[in-house]
A = this chain, B = another copy of it.
Amino acid sequence: MKKIINQPDQVVGDMLNGLAYAYDSLVRRVPDTTVIARTLDPSGKVGLVSGGGSGHEPSHAGFVGKGMLSVAVAGQVFTSPTPDQILEGIKAADEGQGVFLVIKNYTGDVMNFDMAKELAELEDIEVDSIVVDDDIAVEDSTFSAGRRGVAGTVFMHKILGAAAESGASLKEIKALAEQVNNNLYSIGLALSPATNPEVGKPGFELEDNEIEFGIGIHGEPGYSRENLKPSKELAEEFVSKLKKEANWSSRDKFAVMVNGMGATPLMEQFVFMNDIRALLDDGEDLDLVYRKVGDYMTAIDMAGVSLTLLKIEDDKWIDYLNAPVEVIGW
């Protein structure tokens, strides 16, 4: 394992300290917790909390700040944060109007965030939540019952963050979150595996010319191993799978994200976006009203990309996506 770290079991603490130090005008680490909270004074808005295992940076702490999340709670690498850590996050996010949790659909996260919700309710904080399950690659997986939550979660953060900032109520945010989740579709592939520093070796192996379609963001198995193909053919595979789910028609509006998995350079991500453009814009005649390319939901040092499509059901979502933010990673 070749990594710039100190003790493997201190990686998360060191990382959170480095992040909070580098961007102390935007965020702070709540002492004695794994909670990264924004530095803004409370404004009486609904608190927005996300989080999960570490290793997906800039998710989720990179999206804490004005216009996106109030708080992110970090677990150990690829491991859900504990209910008591999430409770600390909920308390830090609470501005008196309730707190909304954005949970990626993994068994550990769902269980621990639910438990934290109950604990917070005992302390008279109103809490509601969404479980994001945008990954269309596989039904149940090694880490989840049902579909996994992946890069589409970042669009969820952005849209709910803008809505919360503009004064939406907890009930309105819940309804918006459900509508967004119903229109959110992602799929990924890996060229090389991730190495969890707490484990010390790659989570799986791929041959020199092999890729895996449908990979999860913790290296969970996808649906097919094949030889590496040109970018255009990778894009075709993604688009054909997404079309079956999203069932689009010409001129339908979509937001699109090409997301790097951590070790894939922007060069390749932009090449891939160019092939997605040809297929979706020129080919399918979709109206891609919002576009984003970069590392947003990574899998430590995995090489690969994912593609996320959000069908725009309400033009207000476009405004929410374009609304200004003050965060590290958007």
A residues with CB within 8 A of B: 2-7, 11, 14-19, 21-23, 54-55, 57-58, 62, 191-192, 197, 208-209, 211, 228, 230-232, 234, 258, 262-275, 277, 281, 291-293, 295, 298, 300-301, 303, 305
Instruction: Give 13 new A-B contacts, CB below 8 A, not counting A4-B271, A58-B266, A262-B263.
Output: A2-B211, A4-B272, A4-B305, A11-B267, A15-B274, A16-B270, A18-B271, A18-B272, A18-B293, A21-B273, A21-B281, A262-B265, A263-B301
A-B contact pairs, 6 of them (CB 8 A): A2-B191, A4-B272, A5-B268, A19-B293, A265-B298, A265-B301
Q: Which single residue of chain B is at the shortest CB-CB distance from A256?
A: B22
Q: Are B291 and A4 in contact (CB-based, < 8 A)?
A: no
Decide: A263 and B266 in contact? CB cutoff 8 A: no
Chain B nearest CB, measured from A97 CB (Å): 29
Contact B57–A274 (Cβ < 8 Å): no
Interface centre among A19, A197, A271, A275 (most CB of B within 10 A): A271
Q: Are B303 and A263 closer than 8 Å at their CB atoms? A: yes
Identify the interface centre among A209, A267, A273, A298: most chain B CB within 10 Å of its CB. Answer: A267
In the complex, chain B residues whose CB is within 8 Å of the CB of A211: 2
Q: Which 8 residue pairs across A and B have the least CB separation, nearest first?
A: A18-B274, A18-B270, A18-B273, A57-B266, A4-B268, A263-B263, A15-B270, A22-B291
Interchain CB contact under 8 A, B272 and A22: no
Q: Are A266 and B62 in contact (CB under 8 A)?
A: yes
Q: A22-B273, A272-B18, A293-B18 are in contact. Are A57 and B300 (CB under 8 A)?
A: no
